[in-house]
Every structure is written in structure tokens, then in C-alpha cells.
């Protein structure tokens, strides 16, 4: 069975790169002789030469002429516009800025983090890849530290520094924006779907750098930092841009390198929780950054960076891409990718994210958080240790990549997690409780809000397990939902859940049955279920596992039900996302205040958005484009039917029963 390799996969060893930094001079490090490994076919050029090449490329010139014709304007004016776009967008990588970052980041990272661990073999593979073909770095995105850290890492290992696709909002920050630009960041507007000139210039800019092998190109498949630490479903735009030079055979091959960066403690954890609860995100500003410097006194534990095996795009595409469409049209003409290509791009995106997930290091604290969330408000310390240890075994069975320091006893591991995350949970009278200070003296609303904050922060860590667990866990949930143990019925429930949660978790498109089989296989492996020809049923021994797994995903099952209920009852008219989020938040908030639900996670705007798009995909909500965005129309009947599928089969659990 193919997923067997998943669990027995051998992974590389880690090295701490900060160790060396703590022993020798940062200044000397920043001023070291930097002669990076570069692409073999590279003819060195300056950032400005790239911009000029882009501006004069057939691709951009073609669009300029087209637009000039359509709008009846002079091409010069549009060319001017293109120049401005390029100036706004383009990086100006300079060694000086890089050295400045090398120095300051050394100082900052040593303050913030205990260790920064890297798999050196991955770096070696990357070194070969960079020399051989153009390389695209695809890191996971949990924090702003991601791209700083990655560039820092490449500098440390004497590899070509990447150019990084960054959001335009960074440019709002004085000095910092320009500094990032000099360190290799280039800036893209958040949305430019309709702007053909922008699209042409941007795409050509990226492709020019890729084709010439100028530098590794780095961007985030997830599009933005995941506020929940759960991998976001991929965005396809940039990926399809970097794949195009291969499709058109302008390059022989392109390497895609999945990189998993995991944080023992995420720098932005509380910001994210506020944001998810609807307290607006502060705009990026330099003064904001300076204010944030107090976090420098805090400890954020260890970072693990796992550089995955470079994946050859040529190998992925072999036999999948018909060559005809690209042979019959001049290559500089903008061409809408065929359905084949779009499907391929999407498959590759999911594959890369699944590789990120596979190599994402999980800390002991992640296990603690998962156990704790099922045992609120308080859990006996010893029991927590016991359960954590049990969950460690289960996670490893499911192929999770746990970094558990050698010989570290469970107690110490849990304690060190609690120390590092004292802002989230603490030990009171031999019991572990969530740290939701101010509970006693606030108004009801305040209490709910405080508790929600603590739950969401805690959930951020549990969430790191979910994509590893999702296949077996959804089988477990399906087992409880299905009216019988017959395989088809369990599978149909699984399939339903997989569809509903397709925005919440990462599933490779179109292989529902394979996912189901994998889930069953893993559950069988840990003796939780048995399967016969026709039936799947939980074993006596495994009922604990099955109920743990379904409890783990209960917040999502319940949360979605709440949100669906809101939509089916409250939303008679067309609405926008801006109206929907506060509406559903209030709805859930009131239920929490009344105590008629305990599902605090339904307050998360992330879950709310995902639930809405799930309904759109299931056809129960119609999404319409209007000039200022989108409006939504609920098909009450369809939503009720989906709710029935949940409701009729699993009654909403009472909080007490949710305990393990």
C-alpha cells in the first residue's frame, strides 16, 4: 500500500545554526566573504537590467500595444505606467542590505529563539538544485519570520539569496519596506485580476528572473500567513506563472522545493487570535514594529526548518501535459491556460502543500494542546502527561514528524511546553488550566471573549496536528455518523465530510476513496478499527482512539453546524462577506453567552469563511460578482439538507460528554 512509506519515511537530522552564532562574531559573520552557489547557466545581471528586459520584452510590449489600441491612448503613456508598476514592484537586491540583515537578524534571532534547527542534507540537496535548474522555494507561512529566516539561512549556507514575492502592504512601512526591497523582496498587489497591464508586467518580471536563473524565487503557496497554523488551501496564480516557462520549454526543468518551517511558539500568536475574533489587524507600520520590540525579551523556543527534496517539474508533468497548445501560438502571447494545465497546476499546488505538511516538525506542546483542549476547563497534570505520551505514539503511527528531544521524559517535555506557553496555560494545584485572566471580574461578554482568546491560541497548536490526522479522524467521525458499519455508508459519510471540509484541510483533489482507504489503513494499524469484506467497526480496544479522534475534530463539526444554522435561519437576503462575518460572530457569541454551546472556535473568522466557501462549492450558496466584490445568496433548502446530514446523525454533544 502506497501510504506505508509515509510512516516509515526516514527523515534527515537537524543542526542548530544559532549555535555557531553564539560562539563567534556576528559582525564578522555579516562581513564574511559571500560567494554563493548559483545557477550554472546564469549570466550575472543587475536588478535594473531585469526591469529593463521586462519592459522591453515581447510579452509586455504586446499587452502595451493592445491596451493602447483598445483605449485609444499612446503606447508611451501605457509604457510609462508599466515603468511605474515595475518600479513599485521590483527588488533592488544589494549585498550591503543583505549584510545589514545578516547582522541584525543574528542579534534578534539569538534573542528570540533558543535554537534554529535545519536539516543540513536538505540544504545540500538545495545547493545541487540551485546549480542545475531554476529553483522555486515554497515555504509554509506562519509568521513574518519565515522569509527573513529563509534568506538568513541561505546566506549562512552560501547559497544564492532568493527573490521573494511580498505583499504590497510592506511598502507602507517606512524604511523597512525599502530595506526588504534591497534584501530581495519584490512586491505584488493583493488583487490585480482585472488589470491586464499589471498582470503582464508582474508575470513577466517573475518569469524573466526564473528563466535566467537569476535567483531562487520564493513565494508562499498559502498566499498569506495562516492565522490558525493550519495549512491554508493553496493559491494558484504565482505557481502557474513560475511553471509556465517550463510548459513553453523556455527552461529545461524547474525545481519546486517544499520547505516546512515550524515554530515552537509563534511570534504573532496573540495577534492572530485577536484578528480571528474580529479585532482588526494593525496596519504594517514601522512604529508598530518598533513597539513590538518588547517581544524581544520573550522566549519563542525553537524553530525547525525542513528543506524538502526538490521536486522536478519535468518529472511531475511527464505524460500529463499535451504539448500542442503551446506549439501553435507564439509564446509571447498571453494565453489562458487550458483546463488540463489548470488542473495540473492545482494538483502540483496540493502536492507541494502535502509535502510541507509531511515534513512539518511537531513539538511536544502541540500534543499537549490537543489533549488539553478536549479536557477543559481543567485537567489533572499526571493525566495530561499520560495522554500526551499516548498521543505521541498515535501521531507517529499516523506519520507525524515529532521532534522529541532524546531521553527527555514526558513530564519534563510537558513542563517545558507549559513554561514556554505560560501565556496560554498554566499549572494550578496540580491541574493544568487555560490562562484566561480576568475571568472572575469581567462582564459575561468579557469572560467569553477572554476564554475564546485562550482557546483559539491553544487551538493554534493543536491545529498543527490536524492535517496529519484528518484522514483517519474523518473515518472515525464518519463511523459515528453513519447509520451502520457498512463500508459504503461509512465511506459516504467520509466523503460528505471531506467535501464539507475541503477548505479547512488539505486534500489532494479527486482521490476521496484513496484518502478513505488511507484513513482506514492507519486506524487498523493502531488497532482502532477492524475491517471485514463489507464492514468497518471500532474495536473494543480502539474505542478510546476513535472517540479521541472525533473529539479532536468536533470543534469543526459543531462550528460548521452553527455557521450553517445561522445561514439557513438568518440570511434571507443577499449579503457580502463584510456583513456575514460580524453577523455570524454575534450569533455564536450570543449562544456562548447563553451557554447553549461551548464551541468557542466557531468565533474564528477563518472557520466562518471556510464554511461559507464550502457551501459555495457544494452549491448551497450562490456567489455573485459585483463591482465592489462578491455577494452571496443562500439556498435555504440546500443548506437545511446539509445540516440534516449532520444533525440527524450526530446530535450536538454536551460539553461534559466531550471529555476523553
- The contact set with other proteins (CB under 8 A) reads 249-250, 252, 323-324, 326-327, 330-331
Cell of 420: 514556554
Radius of gyration of the chain (CA): 25
Rounded Cα gap, residues 519 and 470, in angstroms: 8
Cell of 159: 547559497
| CB-based contacts of 249, cutoff 8 Å, min separation 6 | 326
In the complex with other proteins, the residue whose CB is nearer, 41 or 442, is 41
In the complex with other proteins, the residue whose CB is nearer, 331 or 649, is 331
Q: Rounded to the nearest whole angstrom, what is the least distance from the CB of residue 24 to other proteins in the complex?
A: 39
Q: Are 118 and 139 in contact (CB under 8 A)?
A: no
Q: Rounded to the nearest whole angstrom, what is the least distance from the CB of residue 243 to other proteins in the complex?
A: 14
Q: Rounded to the nearest whole angstrom, what is the least distance from the CB of residue 255 to other proteins in the complex?
A: 14
> Residue 324, exposed/middle/buried by CB under 10 A (0-12, 13-18, 19+)?
exposed
- Measured in whole angstroms, the distance separating CA 157 from the mean position of its chain's CA atoms is 26
> How would DSSP label each residue in 461-489?
HHHHHHHHHHHHHHHHHHHHHSSS-BHHH
Q: Are 552 and 398 in contact (CB under 8 A)?
A: no
Q: Rounded to the nearest whole angstrom, what is the least distance from the CB of residue 309 to other proteins in the complex?
A: 17
From the list 168, 210, 203, the residue with the least C-alpha distance to 185 is 168
- Which letter does DSSP use for residue 224 in this model? S
Q: Rounded to the nearest whole angstrom, what is the least distance from the CB of residue 345 to other proteins in the complex?
A: 18
Furthest CA-CA distance within the chain: 78
Angle at 629 between CA 624 and CA 634, to 5 degrees: 40
- Measured in whole angstroms, the distance separating CA 55 from the mean position of its chain's CA atoms is 33
- Measured in whole angstroms, the distance separating CA 102 from the mean position of its chain's CA atoms is 26
Q: Rounded to the nearest whole angstrom, what is the least distance from the CB of residue 351 to other proteins in the complex?
A: 22
In the complex with other proteins, the residue whose CB is nearer, 157 or 326, is 326
In the complex with other proteins, the residue whose CB is nearer, 323 or 659, is 323
- Which letter does DSSP use for residue 138 in this model? E
Q: Rounded to the nearest whole angstrom, what is the least distance from the CB of residue 306 to other proteins in the complex?
A: 27
Cell of 301: 523556543
Rounded Cα gap, residues 11 and 629, in angstroms: 45
Rounded Cα gap, residues 611 and 65, in angstroms: 43
In the complex with other proteins, the residue whose CB is nearer, 133 or 225, is 133
Q: Rounded to the nearest whole angstrom, what is the least distance from the CB of residue 207 to other proteins in the complex?
A: 13
In the complex with other proteins, the residue whose CB is nearer, 158 or 250, is 250
Q: Rounded to the nearest whole angstrom, what is the least distance from the CB of residue 329 to other proteins in the complex?
A: 10
In the complex with other proteins, the residue whose CB is nearer, 11 or 331, is 331
In the complex with other proteins, the residue whose CB is nearer, 3 or 326, is 326
Query: Which stretch of DSSP H or E encloses residue 559?
Result: helix 543-570
In the complex with other proteins, the residue whose CB is nearer, 91 or 133, is 133
Q: Rounded to the nearest whole angstrom, what is the least distance from the CB of residue 41 to other proteins in the complex?
A: 8
In the complex with other proteins, the residue whose CB is nearer, 34 or 252, is 252
Amino acid at each position: 500500500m502506497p501510504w506505508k512509506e509515509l510512516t516509515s519515511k526516514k527523515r534527515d537530522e537537524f543542526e542548530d545554526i544559532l549555535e555557531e552564532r553564539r560562539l563567534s562574531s556576528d559582525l564578522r559573520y555579516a562581513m564574511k566573504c559571500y560567494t554563493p552557489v548559483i545557477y550554472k547557466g546564469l549570466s550575472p545581471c543587475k536588478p535594473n537590467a531585469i526591469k529593463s528586459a521586462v519592459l522591453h520584452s515581447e510579452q509586455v510590449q504586446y499587452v502595451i500595444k493592445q491596451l493602447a489600441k483598445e483605449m485609444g491612448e499612446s503606447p508611451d503613456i501605457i509604457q510609462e505606467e508599466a515603468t511605474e508598476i515595475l518600479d513599485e514592484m521590483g527588488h533592488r537586491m544589494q549585498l550591503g542590505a543583505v549584510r545589514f540583515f545578516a547582522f541584525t537578524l543574528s542579534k534578534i534571532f539569538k534573542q528570540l529563539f533558543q535554537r534554529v534547527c535545519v536539516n543540513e542534507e536538505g540544504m545540500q540537496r538545495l545547493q545541487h538544485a540551485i546549480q542545475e535548474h531554476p529553483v522555486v522555494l515554497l515555504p509554509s507561512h506562519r509568521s513574518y519570520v519565515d522569509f527573513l529566516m529563509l534568506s538568513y539561512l541561505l546566506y549562512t549556507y552560501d547559497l544564492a539569496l532568493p527573490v521573494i514575492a511580498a505583499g504590497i502592504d510592506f511598502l507602507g512601512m517606512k524604511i523597512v519596506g525599502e530595506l526588504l526591497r534591497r534584501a530581495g523582496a519584490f512586491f505584488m498587489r493583493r488583487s490585480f485580476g482585472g488589470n491586464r497591464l499589471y498582470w503582464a508586467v508582474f508575470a513577466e518580471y517573475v518569469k524573466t528572473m526564473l528563466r535566467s536563473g537569476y535567483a531562487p524565487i520564493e513565494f508562499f503557496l498559502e498566499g498569506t500567513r495562516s492565522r490558525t497554523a493550519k495549512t491554508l488551501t493553496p493559491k494558484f496564480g504565482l505557481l502557474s506563472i513560475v511553471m509556465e516557462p517550463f510548459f513553453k520549454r523556455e527552461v529545461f526543468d524547474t525545481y519546486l522545493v517544499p520547505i516546512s518551517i515550524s515554530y515552537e511558539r509563534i511570534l504573532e500568536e496573540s495577534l492572530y487570535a485577536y484578528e480571528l475574533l474580529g479585532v482588526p489587524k494593525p496596519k504594517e507600520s514601522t512604529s508598530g514594529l518598533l513597539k513590538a520590540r518588547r517581544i524581544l525579551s520573550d522566549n519563542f523556543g525553537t524553530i525547525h526548518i525542513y528543506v524538502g527534496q526538490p521536486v522536478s517539474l519535468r518529472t511531475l508533468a511527464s505524460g500529463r501535459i499535451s504539448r500542442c497548445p503551446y506549439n501553435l501560438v507564439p509564446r509571447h502571447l498571453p494565453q489562458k491556460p487550458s483546463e488540463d494545465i489548470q488542473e495540473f497546476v492545482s494538483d502540483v499546488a496540493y502536492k507541494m502543500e502535502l509535502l510541507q505538511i509531511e515534513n512539518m516538525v511537531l513539538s511536544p506542546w502541540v500534543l499537549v494542546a490537543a489533549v488539553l483542549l478536549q479536557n477543559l476547563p481543567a485537567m489533572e497534570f499526571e493525566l495530561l502527561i499520560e495522554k500526551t505520551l499516548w498521543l505521541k505514539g498515535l501521531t507517529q503511527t499516523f506519520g507525524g514528524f515529532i521532534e522529541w528531544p532524546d531521553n527527555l521524559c514526558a513530564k519534563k517535555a510537558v513542563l517545558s511546553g507549559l513554561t514556554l506557553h505560560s501565556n496560554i496555560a498554566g499549572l494550578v494545584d496540580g491541574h493544568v488550566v487555560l490562562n484566561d485572566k480576568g475571568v472572575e471580574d469581567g462582564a459575561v461578554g468579557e469572560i467569553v471573549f477572554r476564554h475564546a482568546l485562550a482557546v483559539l491560541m491553544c487551538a493554534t497548536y493543536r491545529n498543527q496536528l490536524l492535517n496529519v490526522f484528518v484522514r483517519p479522524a474523518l473515518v472515525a467521525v464518519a463511523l459515528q455518523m453513519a447509520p451502520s458499519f457498512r463500508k459504503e455508508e461509512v465511506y459516504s459519510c467520509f466523503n460528505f465530510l471531506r467535501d464539507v471540509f475541503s477548505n479547512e484541510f488539505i486534500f489532494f483533489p479527486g482521490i476521496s476513496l484513496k484518502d478513505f482507504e488511507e484513513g482506514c489503513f492507519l486506524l487498523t494499524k493502531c488497532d482502532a478499527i477492524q475491517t471485514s469484506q463489507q464492514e468497518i467497526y471500532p474495536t473494543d480496544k480502539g474505542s478510546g482512539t476513535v472517540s479521541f479522534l472525533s473529539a479532536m475534530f468536533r470543534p469543526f463539526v459543531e462550528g460548521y453546524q452553527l455557521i450553517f444554522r445561522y445561514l439557513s435561519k438568518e440570511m434571507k437576503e443577499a449579503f457580502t462577506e463584510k456583513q456575514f462575518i460580524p453577523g455570524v460572530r454575534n450569533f455564536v457569541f450570543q449562544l456562548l453567552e447563553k451557554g447553549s454551546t461551548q464551541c468557542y472556535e466557531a468565533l474564528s473568522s477563518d472557520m466562518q469563511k471556510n464554511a461559507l466557501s464550502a457551501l459555495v462549492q457544494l452549491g448551497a450558496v450562490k456567489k455573485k460578482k459585483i463591482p465592489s466584490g462578491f455577494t452571496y445568496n443562500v439556498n435555504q433548502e440546500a443548506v437545511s439538507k446539509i445540516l440534516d446530514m449532520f444533525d440527524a446523525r450526530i446530535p450536538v454533544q454536551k460539553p461534559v460528554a466531550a471529555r476523553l
